[in-house]
Amino acid sequence: MKEKSHLLLAIFVLTQASTGLELKKRIRGDIAPKSIVHSGNGLFFAQNMMYRHTITVYNRDFDLVATISDKIQGNLLSQAAHETEYRGAPVEATFSHDGKYAWVTNYLMTGPGFDNPGNDSCYGSGNFDISYVYRINTETMMVDRAIAVGSVPKYIAASPDNKWLVVSNWCSGDVSVVDTDRGEQVKRIRVGRYPRGIVVDSSSTTAYVAVMGSYDIAVIDLRSFSVSWVKGVGRSPRHVALDPAGRYLYASLNAENRIAKIDILDRRVVQKVQSGDTPRSIVLSDDGQFLYVVNYESNTLSKVDCSTMAVVETVKTDHHPIGITYDGQSRQVWVSCYSGTILVYQD
């Protein structure tokens, strides 16, 4: 009888642990969020692309605390008419590790001098306009700097020491390295077609870049700017996350519908799991125990146990979930849906 009670208790605990995701809030408004990123200090930045030309900022109470326009004056741009107004198209964001600044990529710029914008297929002459990264002061919520990078910059990551920004330029097929003190790009590194997700290790010496037009992940040494590779990860790696110990790298394989777990010491895939149809962005819990994945065409959010690489829970989302972030203090997962909502799940 005692053994049966213990068994029932174990089943109950397992059930409770694997069904923890509960929709707590649905945020609506004049938004079309491509991404959602947590500052670490209770601010959540949603990037609304050229569909709204805004960045919307929320707090832990789900209040809209700021709407930041992508309009800037030309005096912030290195190649523009100083008295002219320009617009961007916010894609992704990262934060300095004290949360003082947000850095936001702009898919393209519009205004005088920007005549050949890139696009998702990079179709055309190939001589596309460069674009810019905005720096936003998170106290004033104002754009106070713009830094030129490559064509159609998508993902951006800050090194933990706040020295570098690493930016993937979709149509340039390269990666920009920005010196934050100097406020300028210091290196463009060729990696091939469609670089996307980036993560920088805890020592600020290595950046891992998912090259979506390949099967590989580029490994960039941030001291020498040399490139090596993790080969054969899977088809169309889109987004990457690194565990807190710095041993395992996780990659969403957009064209395989799977997530890969990679031993970065051996540079080999140790396991894969199917998460859903067209996995896009991923994020780890602060302790590295779970990985959260948004599946774009399945309209789902999946929770993966990193030790076993088993999907322990999948919940429905609104149409086309595409961005995701995690708040360790509240244990909440924020999901941005291209259809115009932000969903907050309690775990």
Q: What is the pLDDT of residues 142-198, one digit of tens each?
A: 999 999 999 999 999 999 999 999 999 999 999 999 999 999 999 999 999 999 999
In a domain, 202, yes or no: yes
> Which of helix, strand or coil describes residue 168?
strand
Residue 296 has pLDDT above 90, yes or no: yes
In a domain, 68, yes or no: yes
**pLDDT in the model for residue 19:** 56
In a domain, 16, yes or no: no
Residue matched to tokens 């059930």: 15
Paired tokens of 56: 């919307």
Residue 219 has pLDDT above 50, yes or no: yes
In a domain, 13, yes or no: no
**pLDDT in the model for residue 267:** 97
**pLDDT in the model for residue 240:** 98
Per the structure, the complete domain to which residue 206 belongs is given by: 21-346
Mean pLDDT of the chain: 94
In a domain, 10, yes or no: no
Residue matched to tokens 């696009």: 119
Residue 17 has pLDDT above 70, yes or no: no
In a domain, 5, yes or no: no
Task: For residues 279 and 235, give the distance between their C-alpha atoms in angstroms, rounded to a whole number.
Answer: 12
Q: What is the mean pLDDT of residues 3-11?
A: 47
Structural domains in the chain (count): 1
CATH number at residue 262: 2.130.10.10
Task: For residues 25 and 3, give the distance between their C-alpha atoms in angstroms, rounded to a whole number.
Answer: 41
**pLDDT in the model for residue 18:** 47
Contact (Cβ atoms closer than 8 angstroms) between residue 100 and residue 32: no
In a domain, 9, yes or no: no
Minimum mean pLDDT range among 31-40, 43-52, 118-127, 131-140: 118-127
Chain-centre distance of CA 192, in angstroms? 19
Q: What is the DSSP letter of 128?
A: P
**pLDDT in the model for residue 80:** 64
CA-to-CA separations, 296 to 38, 237, 316, in angstroms, rounded: 20, 14, 11
In a domain, 281, yes or no: yes
Task: For residues 341 and 321, give the distance between their C-alpha atoms in angstroms, rounded to a whole number.
Answer: 9
